[in-house]
A and B are shown apart, each in its own frame.
Chain A
């Protein structure tokens, strides 16, 4: 069998039914084999977008997302998506074409050392040197991408090797790699210690992250939190794993989190970190982060434990396996829930004093926060929301109210503008029965707006709600607050005409400039047959609050 055909048999054996990509010279053999493959190829318009679509697919489904690109510029265009998948631990496999083996190292046409370029931003990478290795490498790549702490794996396939004939043997056996054995069970002694610490805590906070989503451990988290009315907060990446309508929910924490969540962390005596990594957007000034707290840190990646904040009780393991054990040990201690009453009255006082709020707009003005609240209303709070990066992303995180995992898809770690639209396409391909809405910023959307062509041509009916304030809003906000209002490079101006642009791509286009029309126009956009964009003109200079200025402590929140 031709190696390129074996590549697709191998992908099919891994259960792949959708891939995203763009062909080119070096992956011509692969695209030839694609003609006979039993899976759907979604043809993107830029490899970066193919990569983000694969990420969106993975976020929405929990399966491995797959993106294809050719050698040279095709591969380098994937780099941002690969880095994004690494930072947010997204299970993905990137398959690049490479120039013929006799050309490698000669600066051949469209040659780039993509394995070398991506080394610091992949979980692992494999350069095919023998065509017989392809089935084995694909099998390994999926295993590595999807187990342990998930992440991107790159497989680079030289053109001539893809054309070679090999004796194809399906690889379905368990992968054995002596250098890769994730610890999943969690040390029971440590778990018992953690349960006892929790039982003795008077001011505990459960702080969760994207690891809960990756572990599909939302139900296990809810059980643990319910066991004793623990207060719960989450990072941006973990939103939805714990229901935002729960009485125990404090809101998101960190730079644009709620005062309640940040103050609770500041005064906590015990923080139970679950699948979260103490990023600088969470801790602010590290030396003043949660000064009274002891830390239980549960994570599948041992390198995250004590990386930024020293853990008192480290537990390495899969959250899905650790949480039920922790819950069992905790329940056996038969604690007295009333010991948390004082803590809860303090929390309730913060919640009453500092709710998330904003100044209502003038007649007809569309406040960005109102726009997010309206999105919640028209989607029943139940859509898959993707976002770009910036103010609109933070407002979505604050105001949408996510109640289920895998409904909130955004670029947290790398902060990639232009992520939202291609991610929405990937999510909609993965879950066609769900309403998928991309909440975009006008600065971000244009960075991958060509993907409207993908949505139209591939008939992927995603909806884009564009929060258009005419600015690189978050940068403008920082220049206003911290750079003496010296605005630099943040005005987007009147171009493009988004409605005409959407229509030029063959998508529906609507514009909303009056808050009285917002609900109706959002519904019309959702009901449009096919992809559609709603250009919403929001208050141009609204700032996103509250916030912890970079490098400050939680108690110094402003706004």
Chain B
């Protein structure tokens, strides 16, 4: 609990994350927040869905702790979105795999993310479904209501829309500044 504001909407952590009191974060021990990330109300983050298949490179994250969800800096998770590590069968056993999100990632309200990797400066609109093991590279815009099919790899600077999601255009160079989420972070008061 924060000392100065006992009943604000957000709890601010030491690294500047603003986490709503009404978010539903499960398995907090397995989630890494890079700092300055905003998590709004009713967001579900499934940190409990850990990797059970032993990894060869010993990638257990910092200090040997298993990591289910890794999130970079200046990310913004709007109301009621859901982050969930994807799972699949591999060599006869089922395992979940970590969900990695880089910096300056915006995820719109009610979107469900089961991707393997979301690159930096990615903007995902409202009511999107990002399928299992999708890889989204940097500077991608996913428009509202898109259903990205499982295992899709979205190249950098793409605009993706539709059901199923397809690349419908490119992000122009002038637009790139719009992906910076520092101002949004600052605008979130307690």
Q: Are A and B genuine complex partners?
A: no
Q: Which residues of A contact B (CB under 8 A)?
A: none
